[in-house]
Structure 1
Amino acid sequence: MSFPRQYARTQRFSIGVPRSFQISPDGRRVAFLRGRHGTDTATCLWVAEPDGSERLVADPRTIGDTGEDLPPEERARRERLREAGGGIVSYSVDRAFTRAVFTLSGRLYGVDLDGASAPRELPASPPVVDPVLDPTGRSVAYVSGGAVHVLDVDGGDRVVAEPDGENVTWGLAEFVAAEEMGRHRGMWWSPDGVFLLAARVDDTPVRRWHISDPGSPETAAQTVAYPAAGTANAEVRLAVLRADGSGGPVWVEWDRTELPYLVTAGWTDQLDGASTVVLTAQDRAQRTVRAFAADPLTGHLRELWTETSEVWVEIMPGVPAFDSSGTALRFGVDADGERVLYRGDQVVSAPGQYVRALLDVDGSRVLYSASPPDRPQDVRLWLYDGQEGTRAEVLFPGVDDPSGVHSGRLVGGTLVVQRRDLSAPGVRTAIVRGAGSERSVVAVESLAERPDLPGVNVRLRRLGERRIPAALVLPSWHTPDSEPLPVLLDPYGGPHAQRVLGAQGAYLTSQWFAEQGFAVLIADGRGTPGIGLAWEQAIHRDMAGTVLDDQVAALETAPDAFGVRLDLTRVGIRGWSYGGYLAALAVLRRPDVFHAAVAGAPVTDWRLYDTHYTERYLGHPNTDPERYDRESLLVDAPGLRRPLMLIHGLADDNVVFAHTQRLSSALLAAGRPHTVLPLSGATHMASDPTVSENLLLLQVEFLRDALRLG
């Protein structure tokens, strides 16, 4: 089987990898999702027992529903999550870890985690979206038809909040929250299971866009509420609802005129010794984030802390949180201008670390991820004990080398840790229970396929005066005496996505391109994560020039830094989304350096992209319209003189097809030849295996022809 076909049918080698871990409060049981093998798209729910055995709890194929008939709300939710899997893609458990709920094809199912009974369908009102089991295990909250329902496990389904307007929904995250803020949920149970905190979203002010597929003229266009830069956002409010349906909503009101973005919401029982609402909100310019606590009985609000920035305040995963003493965990910026993790007023993270996320708080212990100084390719785990005031790095069991990309969970003294590194393409997972002589380690097997490649031949360096993190991927057959290779740049290059990592899996597609006769160069220039705040914020008000300059600098310094002969007279570049913008930008503005480009789903005019992302970097278009003009690719269209392939899904509701259509029209008006590859039925991620396979083949054919490879 060819690599492109294998890459497509394994969904980028993600099928069969254990994921979505949840740990029982006593640390004994661990639940997770995984397919039966590397091409099984019907993801199953499993439980790992203390003795190391794994038990299959729910298999969609046995149930008779592989979850392919999705309601529109669930399809949109998965698109925001970039969830391409099938079967059971998410699940919710109760606090005692006795049962779980999940959906298949918009129908609600429950299962006992002890294996005492088979999964059973629950009498909910379909289509069911995003069910959440209450902590006591008595009830399930879910969304159907824009209303929040509560279903008692023993029977009885009631509506506790329903739309009061044509464009109103309850219990779901709005577009910008799910796409840009990392908040994918719109309802949260109180710890005692008495209350639900729910978001009410009114999309009435948001502009309507109409997305159609010319390949299916019999299908009506999809109407979406898309908040493009400079236009109105959805109106979001929060209310506390009684799960038994009694009484009316208790509104939690903050100054939504000053702080219109609801960033996070939820509950804690650590703050005041009782169930307390906690939320954070952000201003439209994204220079202020405030945290609040609210009384669920009255809605009375008090401010906990405020974080401000002259540039923007980054939304960080895992916060706010509270340890067992009620002390808050939050991110902030220290006197040196670097991001740090605080416990109260005390800095938890080590000096020089690039902190990435708060992963878990287990009593007084805090698990977080960070990169050590000068090792942006590594993502490592640290455990801080607030009671002892100590910090220690968490190593993968049996591995002394701390390098690589790690992730983890910590509950009830049990640690689940995953490791990706440069020694192999896959993922290793271990469950670590206890400590000292009581310590036990159990492996959770990955069933993902191994890529059909002759290894990954990658080298990592820091390039040029700015010490840009870079990776060079060479063909397996390359030797020091080989002829100079044409170069293919393969960046993302923008915020929130790091390509240069200490993990083989990050370079599989690049290695396949290398085997076709390229030296593949990947550079994480300014704007990407992993270095520091100044590095990330260097693209403020300059999304084009800064990132392009760094790609050019990386290319020019690569031959000497890597000690490899490269043919800089034949340079191509490919990318997707922001990487697609960067690829098209490269051939339009620097044709002296770049000789061909493949731009997938590119943003071509930032006025067509969403408010929260675009205004963070470029400001409001009404304030500085000239800046938006300078960052647009449309004004550069008359200058194209290099081969350019544009690829775009016609059903993309994130970077809509209008981006490629408008650039193509501008190129046509200027008489500039180019190639457009429209993908019928495809969204921002091409999930059809045949399409995914052929996309790789067509890209390499285009690049080989454009760069004159024999």
Structure 2
Amino acid sequence: MATTFPRQHARTHRFTLGAPRSFTVAPDGSRVAFLRSRSGSDLAHLLWVRDVASGEERIAADPEELLGGAAEELSPEERARRERSREGTAGVVGYATDSSMKMAAFALSGRLFTADLLTGKAAELPTPTPVVDPRPSPDGRHVAYVSGGALRVAAVDGEDDRALAGPEPGTVTWGLAEFIAAEEMSRTRGYWWSPGADRLLAARVDDAPVQRWTIADPANPQQEPTRVAYPAAGTQNAEVTLHLLGLDGSRVQVDWDRERYPYLARAHWSSAGPPLLLVQSRDQREAAYLTVDTATGATSVTLAEYDPIWLELFGGVPAWAPDGELVRITDEGGAAQGDRADAARGGGGARVLMAGARRLTSPALHVRAVLDIGEEDVLFSASEGDGGGAADRRAPGDIGVYRVPLAGGEPVRIADEEGPHLASAVRGGGTLVLSTAALSGPGARVVLLREADSARLGAIESYAETPVLSTAPRLLHTGRRRIPAAVVLPSGYQESDGPLPVLMDPYGGPHGQRVVAAHNAHLTAQWFADQGFAVVTADGRGTPGHSPGWEKAVSRRIAAVTLEDQVEALHALAEDFPLDLSRVGIRGWSYGGYLAALAVLRRPDVFHAAVAGAPVTDWRLYDTHYTERYCGTPQEDPDSYAEASLITDEGLSLVDEDSPHRPLMIIHGLADDNVVVAHALRLSSALLAAGRRHEVLPLSGVTHMASGAAVAENLLLLQVDFLKRSLGIAD
């Protein structure tokens, strides 16, 4: 039987299995550690080490060997961590090393293992289980880990295992990121080793104030429902405090104005300076960079920031440069400084890299994240910025790796691929690992470069499968707002074939860029196109990678702005592509699912069918940090919630009762603890009460990821069948 794309796409986890990832470079540049499974359909990742000089690769940790062939068992804490990071694979899914990269620690099946990265020998440490997030000390003499709500530490040989903090009765955990930090702030950890390896900076989380929700499995009524702490918009968050825990048993609480800055967004501790914290106000309009006195726990404000709309968080910062200067990313100019009128128009501003008071980049680059801070320069990722129309010089979706001197100078792009692409990198000791995906072919290419002259030192092979189809999307800016868009037509399409039914395929909201210069990102669109559609993906206002003002344009108008830009992109593209505007479908997941349902309810004159996967339908049911950034709180900004809702009386009043009732399929995982199934059920109830036609597809035991092979494959098939039926497309 020939392999179909839906089946291959599902069993390869979207062609990610077998691809190398999670790179670490030794400080002397001699070795690279990474994860990779044995094939493009093998879920279990192994830990590998590559010798840069010889090119030899060896396995440092093999899950099958270490577990004796037994199936992996995950603790509830580990399941939660993987759900927050959208990790659906198995084996060694994460690891941490000491500062010399001679030893790595990782958890398997709730047990603690270490691997000698010089000899390739791995061993289990006899510790309490289940183990979560083990991390070696910088000197490699100890391993810290979380178990049973306690933060523990053991010597690297397993001796002297003890709790540094906890366990405590009730709702307290030590050393883990709370739900809101892991889900929305991209802070996935809850403790940090000191550079001297003699103490840890640890978060104590008490989620007693957080309301409890119940997630049941109706397909298995004999099972007890799960109670989860879910901080919905306008409700209380967990209480998070920080403590300095010495290996000698000492404990000092870190003190800051938690009433003014309740969110612990970032923590950094390096030899270049004292512990550095980034804390945020509840409304995310204020933030403070704090330094910690390790003797007393007192904090000092190094820098305070304010924006009347919101302050964004970024990867890799804040951090100290070797000379003690504060490295950060900040928004400046126009809507970036809170000009709401400019933001509403999608106005620009610049996102720049700073070292102390010195600006290292110009508005020509839209800085995305800091990848590494060296002795003399900063490695970072960026898109072309909106300043001076620079965003139109390249096709949208181009994300490059750059380095810029800390002393100031022109940023230099590091590339191993011509044309627009999507790149990331890590480095150490003069060796740089560059991963590049491009439109020209599937997957990503990983090469080792000598930083001094960009000479190639080798490549790390990918075992990922080659897709059974290929794609050549058109990436362009469209409409009066120059909206980034991708258009995919059926393979072999000719103009004489006539106009095509349209499938809009957006995410369309914050933190979800879909128009990227990477081949694999458009494969599913190509498969849908080959079923007889012109597939359009548009990254309207609110999506990242364009300008600060572009992102902030959705403030208090999240529904109206994101839907308006989908309509604008569709109509603008119809002037240049063979789009049949009398047959337009839309599909999406999560925010994209919300946008799909919104489209057929509020603009049935434009959209004729929709598939809404795991949609948020009432923002009062979504979490604090995300929702309040865009909508405020339900108590202080009720109108923004009413306008954005699909189910409240105010939200439904925006739907014309006399408008056509468009077909809508709602898909939702019953085990989803991020966008709970109540969203879908309440929307269905509201539609039923209004006499509106719709279908509901409940997914038993499925979370927000919906990553199981059978589910993922059949979801594609069911969606295309529904869209064809609804739009009158013959097979």
Output the TM-score relative to the length of structure 1.
0.96
Distance 1:542 1:533, change over 3 A: same
Amino acid at match of 2:112: L
Tell me, in whole angstroms, the C-alpha distance in 2 between the residues paired with 1:693 and 1:427. Answer: 23
Alignment of 1:197-236 (within 5 A): 197-236=201-240
Alignment of 1:228-247 (within 5 A): 228-244=232-248, 246-247=249-250
Distance 1:216 1:389, change over 3 A: same
- Is 2:640 the counterpart of 1:632? no
- Is 2:696 the counterpart of 1:676? yes
2:176 to 172, 178, 189: 172
Tell me, in whole angstroms, the C-alpha distance in 2 between the residues paired with 1:676 and 1:24. Answer: 51
Distance 1:107 1:526, change over 3 A: same
Tell me, in whole angstroms, the C-alpha distance in 2 between the residues paired with 1:548 and 1:96. Answer: 50
Amino acid at match of 2:305: E
Amino acid at match of 2:464: A
1:553 to 554, 568, 591: 568
Alignment of 1:409-428 (within 5 A): 409-428=426-445
Preserved CA contact (<8 Å) 1:362 1:410: no
Preserved CA contact (<8 Å) 1:498 1:530: yes
Alignment of 1:377-388 (within 5 A): 377-387=397-407
Report deviation, 1:664.
0.6
Structure 2 equivalent of residue 448 of structure 1: 464
Structure 1 equivalent of residue 63 of structure 2: 60
Tell me, in whole angstroms, the C-alpha distance in 1 between the residues paired with 2:221 and 2:21. Answer: 39
Report deviation, 1:35.
0.4
1:404 to 418, 421, 439: 421
Tell me, in whole angstroms, the C-alpha distance in 1 between the residues paired with 2:136 and 2:222. Answer: 40
Distance 1:619 1:504, change over 3 A: same
Instruction: For residue 110 of structure 1, give the secondary structure of its aligned residue in structure 2.
Output: strand
Distance 1:412 1:491, change over 3 A: same
Tell me, in whole angstroms, the C-alpha distance in 2 between the residues paired with 1:54 and 1:416. Answer: 15
Report deviation, 1:67.
6.4
Report deviation, 1:165.
3.9
Amino acid at match of 2:639: E
Alignment of 1:11-30 (within 5 A): 11-30=13-32
Preserved CA contact (<8 Å) 2:501 2:579: yes
Tell me, in whole angstroms, the C-alpha distance in 1 between the residues paired with 2:577 and 2:643. Answer: 36
Distance 1:664 1:116, change over 3 A: closer
Output the TM-score relative to the length of structure 2.
0.93
Alignment of 1:108-257 (within 5 A): 108-115=112-119, 117=121, 119-154=122-157, 155-244=159-248, 246-247=249-250, 249-257=251-259
Preserved CA contact (<8 Å) 2:256 2:298: no
Residue ranges of structure 2 left out of the alignment (5+ in a row): 335-348, 385-389
Instruction: For residue 681 of structure 2, give the secondary structure of its aligned residue in structure 1.
Output: helix
Q: Tell me the alpha carbon deviations over residues 627-664 of structure 1, each in whole angstroms, 9 at most, x when there is no partner.
A: 21111001456747000000000000000000001001
Instruction: For residue 527 of structure 1, give the secondary structure of its aligned residue in structure 2.
Output: coil
Instruction: For residue 496 of structure 2, give the secondary structure of its aligned residue in structure 1.
Output: coil
User: Cα RMSD over matched residues?
Assistant: 1.4
- Is 2:630 the counterpart of 1:617? yes
Tell me, in whole angstroms, the C-alpha distance in 2 between the residues paired with 1:405 and 1:371. Answer: 10
Report deviation, 1:402.
4.7
- Is 2:544 the counterpart of 1:515? no
Report deviation, 1:390.
4.5
- Is 2:439 the counterpart of 1:457? no
Q: Tell me the alpha carbon deviations over residues 545-600 of structure 1, each in whole angstroms, 9 at most, x when there is no partner.
A: 1111110111111122xx32211100000000000000000000000100000000
- Is 2:722 the counterpart of 1:702? yes
Preserved CA contact (<8 Å) 1:457 1:476: no
Alignment of 1:532-551 (within 5 A): 532-551=547-566
Structure 1 equivalent of residue 545 of structure 2: 530
Amino acid at match of 2:183: E
Preserved CA contact (<8 Å) 2:149 2:168: no
Structure 2 equivalent of residue 497 of structure 1: 512
Instruction: For residue 269 of structure 2, give the secondary structure of its aligned residue in structure 1.
Output: strand
Structure 2 equivalent of residue 7 of structure 1: 9
Preserved CA contact (<8 Å) 2:172 2:205: yes
Preserved CA contact (<8 Å) 1:197 1:239: yes
Amino acid at match of 2:140: G
Preserved CA contact (<8 Å) 2:439 2:472: no
Distance 1:544 1:434, change over 3 A: closer
Instruction: For residue 204 of structure 2, give the secondary structure of its aligned residue in structure 1.
Output: strand
Structure 1 equivalent of residue 109 of structure 2: 105
Distance 1:570 1:477, change over 3 A: same
In terms of mean alpha carbon deviation, does 350-359 or 673-682 score higher?
350-359
Report deviation, 1:484.
1.0
Tell me, in whole angstroms, the C-alpha distance in 2 between the residues paired with 1:526 and 1:682. Answer: 31
Distance 1:705 1:194, change over 3 A: same
Tell me, in whole angstroms, the C-alpha distance in 2 between the residues paired with 1:161 and 1:530. Answer: 41
Tell me, in whole angstroms, the C-alpha distance in 2 between the residues paired with 1:390 and 1:706. Answer: 54
Tell me, in whole angstroms, the C-alpha distance in 1 between the residues paired with 2:363 and 2:268. Answer: 31
Instruction: For residue 22 of structure 2, give the secondary structure of its aligned residue in structure 1.
Output: strand
- Is 2:321 the counterpart of 1:306? no
Preserved CA contact (<8 Å) 2:473 2:486: yes
Tell me, in whole angstroms, the C-alpha distance in 1 between the residues paired with 2:494 and 2:41. Answer: 35
Amino acid at match of 2:277: L
Alignment of 1:463-502 (within 5 A): 463-502=478-517
Distance 1:402 1:452, change over 3 A: closer
Distance 1:116 1:410, change over 3 A: closer
Residue ranges of structure 1 left out of the alignment (5+ in a row): none
Tell me, in whole angstroms, the C-alpha distance in 2 between the residues paired with 1:297 and 1:488. Answer: 60
Distance 1:611 1:596, change over 3 A: same
Using the aligned pairs only, state the percent identity: 54
Tell me, in whole angstroms, the C-alpha distance in 2 between the residues paired with 1:35 and 1:479. Answer: 41
Structure 2 equivalent of residue 270 of structure 1: 272
Report deviation, 1:387.
4.6
Structure 1 equivalent of residue 43 of structure 2: 41
Q: Tell me the alpha carbon deviations over residues 484-536 of structure 1, each in whole angstroms, 9 at most, x when there is no partner.
A: 11000000000111111111111011110001000001101000112101111
Structure 1 equivalent of residue 81 of structure 2: 77
Amino acid at match of 1:483: G
Tell me, in whole angstroms, the C-alpha distance in 1 between the residues paired with 2:401 and 2:104. Answer: 29
Report deviation, 1:360.
0.6
Amino acid at match of 2:330: G
Tell me, in whole angstroms, the C-alpha distance in 2 between the residues paired with 1:642 and 1:253. Answer: 55
Preserved CA contact (<8 Å) 1:362 1:413: no
